[in-house]
Structures are given as structure tokens and as C-alpha cells.
Amino acid sequence: GRGRPDRVVTTTCPFCGVGCNFDLHVKDDRVVRVASNPAAPVNGMSLCVKGRYGFDFVHHPDRLTRPRVRRYLLAGVEKRSATLAEREWVETDWDTALNLVAAKLVAVRRAAGPDAVGFIGSALCTNEENYLVQKLARQVIGTHNVENCARLCHAPTVAGLSMAFGSGAMSNSMDDVAEQAQAFLVIGENVTECHPVFGTRLRQAVLRRGVPLVVADPRTTDITEFAAVHLRHRPGTDVALLNGLMHVVLEHGWHDRRYIEERCEGFEEFRAAVERYTPEAVGVLTGVPAADLRRAAELLARNRPMAAVWGVGVTQHTTGVLNVLALANLQMLLGNMGVPGGGANALRGQNSVQGACDMGALFNLFPGYQPVTSPAALAKFDAAWALDPPAPRAGGTPSLGLSDRPGRTLTEIVDAFGPGDLRALFVMGENLALTNPDLNHTRGCLAAGEFLVLQEIFPTATAEFADVLLPGAAFAEKAGTFTNTERRVQLIRPAVPPPGEARPDWAVLADLARRTLAADGRAPVGPHAGWAYRDPAQIMDEVAAVAPLFAGISHARLERGDRLQWPVPSPDHPGTPILHVGGFARGKGKFHAVEHAPAAELPDAEFPFVLTTGRVLQHYGSEMTRRAEALTAACPEPVVEVSPDDAARLGLTDGSAVRLRSRRGAVVSRAAVTDRVAPGCVFGNFHFPAAGNVNNVTTGVLDPTSKTPEFKACAVAVEPV
Ligand code: SF4
């Protein structure tokens, strides 16, 4: 397949939130190669193994090419009484599939109200598509039940940073962090494997500029090799660890008094709270030697600005929001916010999970973080998206009937589907059946649900539970934008046609919305109520019109080469590489007094190990990279890391079969005997199907504020098979 390409198309990587740009080489309508593009703003010539070799999933024979519906839907048979033969898929045309979905959505809405319908957007789809998913939910159906997978990862970051600073996004840019920071704190973030190109830049800063690096992680990862201090705290003790660091800072008077006085509030209460966290007391809770904690605090406090960098190791806990608040405290204490080389740098996982949130695929926020509880925001969207006749429901906004109360979160949507009162669920590109916690529970809900529509590129594990499958387009087959972890909005461009009859997701959503409105006998009348989009550029123009944060963003500017990080409040605004310069978004930065609380499930005699979970370098989510040949060859099966001490005691050897068992289920895997994990801890990943997926055992217990599950700590038994 190599040789001279027919065309070269510059686009954005579909995997992680670093948002590398590269060139797709296309021959005979197939992507044959990914090449570096020297003009790439984030990555220059660098690409990781996923970006460079992971593209062939686009042409995999598993791709969905025609809509499919279950035979019982065409035969008019009740789902519950359908035989196996009646449950089979039937390939059909778009008219049949979309008319069926539209009719069902209208029927459920009329019979049980708008909140009996739920929508899940996708962190892998474009901004424009996520905007349309939430518009479909809010305008056409009249519900705030719309979410995306951020609920499973960085929702605590959004909640915590909003409380502290007034904006929930990564504050700085990868460039200034890598080039201007004088110290790094990397906590709960396996940056080399999860954000590889940025991980390389951090490593280079350590090696070339001598920047001191403190890594806080229960696990030894590749980046810990470069750390001046590795704080290997027990899973679920981040607040204690961070309070301990701040205790030492305050004890030595290393905090930035003037900054705190001028720009922050709540300091005294916070100070009183960290008083008890002496390094010795923290050592008992975390397992970190007091001397290491003192040394780390000194390095971080004496070398400023210091950039705090974190991932879902911080957020996927029942204390996720508290952990983020503690990090916000640390950065205010040291005066590191609003300056290049400092900041609160939460690394978002998926290519456009930032964008899915920005566009309002969240149960409590309209596009651009306008709260659904705000009367002004409700009135604005009710007018912009107005329909005629108005919503029949009593209460709510006059035209759309939208409530001033938030909808349900992702985990609540799944819980209410099947056993609860949520009767229809529309999922775009989210693999609930492998990436939710406590999969036996999740699958039970999906199996019991009344009507599940899945818009996807593959027949994923979730497709097993779907009633209708709508074939979408992959990143290389459509136009639109992704927003990377540093709030940078970047174009993707169509390089090859979608396979068979598959269509870009934005086109499917617009078509479905038009049919649903028609089936409901309603017509768009508001200035942004229509669904006749020519292309994604026009959708972005609508986003700019309704969300002030993005008012100056357009595809035309991006095509011209403008490098835009939001907020971009006007068409002549250059974008905002660093947030909170000269003042916080909320006015004063707010310190919060936060206390250590243990993980929800601690080890005991029956389940004596702590399981923590994460990614491996070669894989991304749960379906795409497994269909990329080079990546699957490099990492063909799931592994569970076990420490050499524990392995010896349990009779496990490297490569032998091992079973993890929790109160919720079991996973069977190969053991990797390694001191990357501490004795008493095991580590597994979620990239593989069915019995090999670690989410069979993870817990669905939630952070009370953000409703994010505690993927990073649960109690398991470890057994040879
Ligand atoms: Fe893609 Fe992330 Fe790798 Fe860059 S670092 S090539 S964005 S997976």
C-alpha cells in the first residue's frame, strides 16, 4: 500500500487529549500512512506509537456499513417476548432506521415525559456533533439528560477547579509548562503512556533544563525514573499527601503571602485544616516517609513557577473533588496560578473530552458552561431554539419546557435505564458495556432497558444490548473540530469516504432531529432552532452565536491557521493560552479546607489487595486500538501487575494466569510480576473484552459531588487459575 499518495490531508489525532496534528497519506481512498507535519502546533514532528501506527482501525472489516435494527422491531413483536431468531440484526436503509427511532422517541416522550429519554455524547466525536447531541436532547426532546464520558474521568476536575477558580479547564498550555516551569509535580498521571508526546516534553525539560520533578503515584511508571522524588502513596490518600506537602510549606513560610492576600480568600480556614497533617502523621496514612515528603515540599516550593500536572489517578476516587481542591490550594499557596510555567494542568484523556464538555454534553450545563439552573441561560436557549407549537408540558421554559433543575449524570442515566424510569437511551460512540465500572451491574441495566440506539463505527460490546445500530464515520472521514486538553480547538478534515452507507455523525443527528420534530408535529422557529446544516462549519457558527466563550471561533479562522485556545470572546481575539492571568475567573481564588477520607472499599481478610486501574501505551479505549494491527501485535492481551513479593506468596509467575475477584465480579488475565506496583496493590487495564476486562471488578461507588466512580481503588482477592 505505500508509494506516492494520491493526496495528503492534515488532521488531528483521534486518540489522546494532547491533540497532535499529522498528515494522512491517502491512496485509492485508503489511509496508507501517517506522517509528521512540521507545522503541528502541539507536537512538531513528534508522534507516539498510537498516532503513528494506530490508523488502520479506520479500514477494519468490522466497520458498520449499513443501519441495523432488531428483527422484532420490524415484525412488531414485543422485545421481552422476542425469540432468539427475532433478536437477530436486520440490515436496513437509513429511512427505515431513522423513522423508527424518531417514532419511538416521540412515543416515549409523549407517554412518559421528556426525562424518560437519555443521551450520551462522545469524547471521540467532534465538537459540532456533541453540540448537536445536546441540542437534540434539550430542544427536540426537552430533557437535560445528556452526558459524556467526562463523568467517568475528569468531572471532579471541572467541579473542583470551578469551585476554586471559576473555570474547570486546564489553566496553562503544554508549551509554557514544558518550557517555562521551574519544577513539576506529576500526580496520578502516567504521562509517558497516557499522553506520550507531552510526557516526552516533560522528560526533556528534566534532562535538558534540569527541572526538578516530583512524581506522586502509587505505581512506578516510566516518568518516575526521571523524578528527584517519587512519593509512592497508597491509593486513595491524595488529600493527606497534598495537605502534608502544604503543611511543610507553611511551616517554613515558603508560601506566597502577597499573592494570597491580593488574589485569594478562605486562607485562614484552610491553614487551620492542614495544621494537623504533619509529615509523620501523613506518613502513617500514606506510607510515604516523612523525609521524602519534606524534600518534595522544598523542591516544589523553592523552584517557582511550579506546574502541577494530573490525570485520572487524582479524580477517579470518592474523594476526587477534594483531591482537586487540594491541588488548587497548593497552586494558590505558592502563587503559581495565572503565570507561564505554573498552573493547574489536568490532562484530559480523550482527544475531545474537553470539547464534549465545552459543547454542553453535561447534565447541568448548556454549551459554554452556562448553567441550566440560571434563569438567563434558560431564557436564552428557549428563545434561540424555539419550536412551534411550544412544549405541551406544564412548567419549565415556555417554548421547550426545559426544567431549571439539572438532568441525570451518566451513571444515573445507566442506572435508571432498565430497572428505572428511563425508557429510551441514545448513545453516540460510548462503550458503556466495557468502560463503565461494575460491568455486571451496567450490563444488567443495558439488557433490561426498553429501547437503546447506538451510533457507532464498530459493533462494540455495547451493541449486544442495542435495538438499533447507526453506522457513523471515523475521524478520517468527516469534518469538524476536536478540543485538546489545553482548550485548543483544532480541525479534522475528511481524507477518505466512510465505508458503505455510513454517514458522518453530525449528518445522522441532524437527519434524526428533523424526522423527530416532524413526527412530533413541531417546527423550528427560533433563530438557531433549525437543523438544515450544510456542513460542520455552520454548526460551529451556531455554537459561536450561543456561547460567549467561543464567540470568536470559526472554521474559517482555523483554516487560516489561527491557533485558538478558548476563551475566544470575539472574531479578532487571539485566544487565551493561560487562564486566570491578573485575576481568577470567579474573582478571588478560593481556598477550601479539605480533609483526608479513606477510599470507599478498603482491603480486608477476604479481599486483601487494592486494585488500581489504567491504560497501557499501545491501547487507547476499548475497541479502536484493538483493531489496529501493529498495536495489537505489541500488546495482544490484558495483564495484571503483581509485586514480586505477592507473586511469590501466591505462587504466581510472570505470564501465569491470574484471577482477580471482588464483591462484584471477576477478571481473568496474565500476571505481570513487577515492582511497578507496591506489595498489597495490583494494577489492571480496561482495553479488552468480556472476561479480561478489569471493570468486571471495579466499584460503582461515586464521588458525592461529581458522581465520578472510584475506578482507582477497590478491594480484590488475587488467585492463581
Ligand atoms: Fe495521538 Fe496522543 Fe500520541 Fe499525540 S500523544 S500521537 S495525540 S495518542
Question: From residue 265, how far is each of 159, 239, 547 by CA, in Å?
Answer: 18, 20, 29
| Per-residue pLDDT at 672 exceeds 60 | yes
Nearest Cα to Cα of residue 409 among 196, 171, 153: 153
Cβ–ligand 1 distance for 19 under 6 Å, the answer yes
- Dihedral sign of CA atoms 17, 19, 25, 27 in order: positive
Question: From residue 595, how far is each of 5, 174, 272, 273 by CA, in Å?
Answer: 58, 31, 11, 7
CA of 18 to the centre of ligand 1 (A): 6
Confidence band, pLDDT 50/70/90 cuts, at residue 472: very high
Confidence band, pLDDT 50/70/90 cuts, at residue 2: low
Question: What is the pLDDT at residue 590?
Answer: 98
Q: What share of the chain is helix, strand, coil (3-state, %, to 5)?
A: 40, 20, 45
Q: Which three cell numbers stand for residue 36?
A: 509528521
Residue with cell 426545559: 402
21-27 vs 7-12, strand pairing mode? antiparallel
Cis peptide before 567 (omega within 30 of 0): yes
CA of 187 to the centre of ligand 1 (A): 20
Give the mutation target among 195, 348, 485 for probing the ligand 1 site: most ligand atoms within 8 A of CB: 195
Cβ-based neighbours of 144, under 8 Å, separated by 6 or more: 137, 138, 363, 364, 372, 402, 403, 405, 406, 407
* Residue 316 and residue 153 in contact, taking contact as beta carbons nearer than 8 Å: yes
Give the mutation target among 42, 46, 48, 55 for probing the ligand 1 site: most ligand atoms within 8 A of CB: 48
The distance from CA 467 to its chain's CA centroid, rounded to whole angstroms, is: 26
Q: Which amino acid is at 74?
A: L
What residue owns the CA closest to ligand 1's atom 4? 20
Nearest ligand 1 atom to the CA of 18 is 7
Q: Does ipTM top 0.85?
A: yes
Burial of 237 (0-12, 13-18, 19+ CB in 10 A): buried
| Per-residue pLDDT at 408 exceeds 80 | yes
CA of 649 to the centre of ligand 1 (A): 39
Cβ–ligand 1 distance for 16 under 6 Å, the answer yes
CA of 353 to the centre of ligand 1 (A): 14
Give the Cα separation of 517 and 495 in Å (integer): 33
Give the mutation target among 11, 13, 617, 620 for probing the ligand 1 site: most ligand atoms within 8 A of CB: 13
- Which whole number is the average pLDDT over 564-571? 98
The distance from CA 696 to its chain's CA centroid, rounded to whole angstroms, is: 20
SS3 612: strand
Give the mutation target among 12, 50, 53 for probing the ligand 1 site: most ligand atoms within 8 A of CB: 50
Lowest mean pLDDT among 247-256, 259-268, 539-548, 682-691: 682-691
Cβ–ligand 1 distance for 50 under 6 Å, the answer yes
Nearest Cα to Cα of residue 329 among 269, 282, 369, 262: 269
Confidence band, pLDDT 50/70/90 cuts, at residue 629: confident
| Per-residue pLDDT at 99 exceeds 50 | yes
Give the Cα separation of 514 and 524 in Å (integer): 9
CA of 352 to the centre of ligand 1 (A): 12
Q: Where in the chain is the domain with CATH 3.40.228.10?
A: 155-347
Cβ–ligand 1 distance for 341 under 6 Å, the answer no
Q: Which residues lie across from 671 on neighbouring strands?
A: 640
Other Cβ atoms less than 10 A from the Cβ of 268: the count is: 10
CA of 197 to the centre of ligand 1 (A): 6
Q: Where in the chain is the domain with CATH 2.40.40.20?
A: 609-720
CA of 84 to the centre of ligand 1 (A): 42
Other Cβ atoms less than 10 A from the Cβ of 392: the count is: 11
Confidence band, pLDDT 50/70/90 cuts, at residue 436: confident
* Residue 219 and residue 683 in contact, taking contact as beta carbons nearer than 8 Å: yes
If you write DSSP's letter for every residue of 429-445 in order, what string do you get?
A: S--HHHHSSSHHHHHHH
Give the Cα separation of 238 and 232 in Å (integer): 10
| Per-residue pLDDT at 113 exceeds 80 | yes
Nearest ligand 1 atom to the CA of 196 is 5
Mean pLDDT of the chain: 94
CA of 163 to the centre of ligand 1 (A): 30
Question: What is the pLDDT at residue 622?
Answer: 66
* Residue 429 and residue 110 in contact, taking contact as beta carbons nearer than 8 Å: no
pLDDT digits (tens, 9 = 90+) for 154-169: 899 999 999 999 999 9
| Per-residue pLDDT at 619 exceeds 70 | no
Q: Which three cell numbers stand for residue 207?
A: 534532562
CA of 692 to the centre of ligand 1 (A): 25
Superfamily of domain 155-347: Dimethylsulfoxide Reductase, domain 2 (3.40.228.10)
Cβ–ligand 1 distance for 13 under 6 Å, the answer yes
CA of 49 to the centre of ligand 1 (A): 8
The distance from CA 232 to its chain's CA centroid, rounded to whole angstroms, is: 25
Q: Each residue of 88-120: b (16+ CB within 10 Å) or e?
A: ebbebebeebbbbbbebbbebbeeebbbbbbbb
Determine what percent of the chain is predicted with pLDDT higher than 90.
87
Radius of gyration of the chain (CA): 25
Other Cβ atoms less than 10 A from the Cβ of 61: the count is: 7
What residue owns the CA closest to ligand 1's atom 3? 48
What residue owns the CA closest to ligand 1's atom 2? 16
Nearest ligand 1 atom to the CA of 52 is 6
Cβ–ligand 1 distance for 47 under 6 Å, the answer yes
CA of 223 to the centre of ligand 1 (A): 17
Cβ–ligand 1 distance for 199 under 6 Å, the answer no
Question: What is the pLDDT at residue 393?
Answer: 67
Compute φ and ψ for 201, nearest 5 degrees.
-65, -40
What's the CATH class of domain 609-720?
mainly beta
Question: What is the pLDDT at residue 167?
Answer: 92
Give the Cα separation of 64 and 58 in Å (integer): 11
Cβ–ligand 1 distance for 196 under 6 Å, the answer yes
Question: What is the pLDDT at residue 1?
Answer: 46
Nearest ligand 1 atom to the CA of 22 is 6
Question: What is the pLDDT at residue 89?
Answer: 97
Give the Cα separation of 450 and 79 in Å (integer): 8
What is the number of alpha carbons within 13 Å of residue 429 lying toward its C-beta? 29
Q: Classify domain 68-152+352-565 by CATH number.
A: 3.40.50.740
Q: Which residues lie across from 565 on neighbouring strands?
A: 488
DSSP state of 715: E
- Dihedral sign of CA atoms 426, 412, 695, 285 in order: positive
What residue owns the CA closest to ligand 1's atom 1? 51
- Which whole number is the average pLDDT over 491-511? 98
Q: Where in the chain is the domain with CATH 3.40.50.740?
A: 68-152+352-565
Cα angle: 304, vertex 310, 311; to 5 degrees: 170
CA of 483 to the centre of ligand 1 (A): 13
User: What pTM, to 2 d.p., does this model score?
Assistant: 0.95
Cβ-based neighbours of 460, under 8 Å, separated by 6 or more: 431, 433, 434, 454, 622, 623
